[in-house]
Amino acid sequence: MQTLKTRDLIALGFMTFALFLGAGNIIFPPMVGQGAGEHAAAAATGFLLTGVGLPLLTVVALARVGGGMDALTSPVGRKAGMVLGLLIYLILGPLFATPRTATVSFEMGFAPFMGHSSTALFIYSAVYFALVMGLSLFPGKLIDNIGKLITPVLILALVVLGAAAVLLPAGEATRASGDYLVSPLTEGFLEGYQTMDALGALAFGIVIVNAIRDRGISDTGLQTRYAIVAGVIAAVGLGMVYLSLIHLGATSQSIAPQAQTGVLILTRYVDHTFGPIGSLLLAVVISLACLTTAVGLVSACGAYFSQMLRLPYRAVVVAIGLACILVSNQGLAQLIAVSGPVLVGIYPLAIALVVLSLLSGLWRNAQRVFAPVLAVALLFGLIDAARAAGWQDWLPAFLNSLPGNGMGWALPVAATLVLAALHDRLRPAPAAAFKPS
């Protein structure tokens, strides 16, 4: 029986880590640290729950069903599953996540050298996505191209930056501000949405499993085991990156007071600590992190849409890349402003889907549990999204009286899960289909 060698398994883990470590993973942890200040530990705990724990659980859930969204959403029916998959892949692909990798890497890595003009951004994004498309056209080479070549360089640069953040802080942790004064753990949990890692895991699951299959591993048990090991390696790496960057933000108030983005915090820190060479270090970290994530997202979206639309994979990859060039030229601030409410709306649905899938062995009839729980998660996610977008005046008064802060969905979803599970246990199991001999 074909198995993976240790070095190939490590490379798979590195590839998985690199797929997850993208734009949001770099720019949001410093903002969490600066906002939380003295409460950075509590905020980091919340951030790790959604930024590390949930993606790992998603990888496990997908590995158990073979890596595909179709299998994960099968209990709600083909049409509903297709709508959910389409929504998630559009968010991860041409609408938000993938274009954001280009804008972040431009703002942090190249704008200091090229300038911030729209022309410079267009030239950069065109070259960037040409490279992304070139790597994505050969998904069978992802372990070699990303896991063995690009990721070791990325990890080395991250080690230097992370070690400096811990050993050479710019100052002392200051007083928390805003909502971090009252609920740092909840705020950290919600900021973890912005990494898009849990949504990314829904797409990367099939990329990881396909990479294992391309190595000749046909046994489904081994595929699941290797995917979980890769997820654990990625989770450990992400956790270390997040903790160091949150610490960096918490101790950088003196050099980047009241910063509006993590971009400013990081650029000020590397300039303060490393001098001119710091800009080069940051450019390497950001460019490689964003590039590997973009390749993974485009590959996953290409596989999904080519199957759904029955079009050649490479043609779909090129179309996605061209669309990403157009969207990325809207600028980083605009993408973050629009994506915030969208993520608040879709994350409850994604979390509920993963939890239900992991508990699938408990249900007599999965549809009796999945359908009501996901419907309630979507409803209350949309309510929270409307609040996040500033549209609360459009909502009925009784909805505005519900708990907010982006977590208004949790209690209704939990209550629906309990009721649906009780209903499922009290009803008889579906009769097995009769198969004539």
pLDDT band at 147 (very low <50, low <70, confident <90, very high): low
- Looking at residue 435, what is its pLDDT? 46
Query: Of 151, 163, 136, 149, which is closest to residue 313 (Cα–Cα)?
Result: 136
- Looking at residue 32, what is its pLDDT? 93
The 10 Å Cβ neighbour count of residue 115 is 10
- When divided into structural domains, the chain yields a total of 1
pLDDT 10s digits, 37-83: 999 999 999 999 988 998 888 888 888 877 677 788 888 888 888 88
H-helix or E-strand containing 284? helix 276-309
Query: Of 324, 249, 302, which is closest to residue 98 (Cα–Cα)?
Result: 324
- Looking at residue 283, what is its pLDDT? 82
Residue range of the domain that includes 112: 4-343
Asked whether residue 400 is domain-assigned, the answer is: no
Query: pLDDT > 70: what percent of the chain?
Result: 93
Asked whether residue 54 is domain-assigned, the answer is: yes
Asked whether residue 264 is domain-assigned, the answer is: yes
- Of the two residues 347 and 29, the one the predictor is more confident about is 29
Q: Alpha-carbon distance 132 to 149, whole Å?
A: 15
- pLDDT exceeds 80 at position 103: yes
- Looking at residue 150, what is its pLDDT? 78
Q: Alpha-carbon distance 217 to 25, whole Å?
A: 31
Task: Return mean pLDDT, the chain.
Answer: 85
Q: Alpha-carbon distance 226 to 233, whole Å?
A: 11
- Looking at residue 418, what is its pLDDT? 94
Query: pLDDT > 90: what percent of the chain?
Result: 26
- pLDDT exceeds 80 at position 403: no
- For every residue of 299-340, DSSP letters joined together read HHHHHHHHHHHT--HHHHHHHHHHHHHHHHTT-HHHHHHHHH
- pLDDT exceeds 60 at position 434: no
Lowest-pLDDT range, 2-11, 46-55, 377-386, 387-396? Answer: 387-396
- Of the two residues 406 and 37, the one the predictor is more confident about is 37
Asked whether residue 411 is domain-assigned, the answer is: no
- Mean pLDDT to the nearest integer, 203-210: 80
pLDDT 10s digits, 225-261: 998 899 999 999 999 999 999 999 999 988 988 788 7
- Mean pLDDT to the nearest integer, 18-30: 82
- Of the two residues 434 and 97, the one the predictor is more confident about is 97
Query: Of 296, 270, 244, which is closest to residue 17 (Cα–Cα)?
Result: 296
- Looking at residue 23, what is its pLDDT? 66
Q: Alpha-carbon distance 164 to 247, whole Å?
A: 11
Asked whether residue 249 is domain-assigned, the answer is: yes
Question: Model pTM?
Answer: 0.79
Asked whether residue 379 is domain-assigned, the answer is: no
- pLDDT exceeds 80 at position 139: no
CA end-to-end span of the chain, whole Å? 33
Asked whether residue 405 is domain-assigned, the answer is: no
Q: Alpha-carbon distance 25 to 290, whole Å?
A: 9
- Looking at residue 398, what is its pLDDT? 61
Q: Please provide the size of the chain in residues.
A: 437
- Looking at residue 193, what is its pLDDT? 80
**Backbone dihedral region of 416: left (phi > 0), alpha (psi from -120 to 50 degrees) or beta?**
alpha
- Looking at residue 433, what is its pLDDT? 45
Asked whether residue 372 is domain-assigned, the answer is: no
pLDDT band at 323 (very low <50, low <70, confident <90, very high): very high
pLDDT band at 288 (very low <50, low <70, confident <90, very high): confident
- Looking at residue 87, what is its pLDDT? 86
Q: Do the beta carbons of residue 20 and residue 155 sit within 8 Å?
A: no
Q: Alpha-carbon distance 158 to 243, whole Å?
A: 12
pLDDT band at 295 (very low <50, low <70, confident <90, very high): confident
- pLDDT exceeds 60 at position 436: no
Q: What is the CATH number of the domain that holds 10?
A: 1.20.1740.10
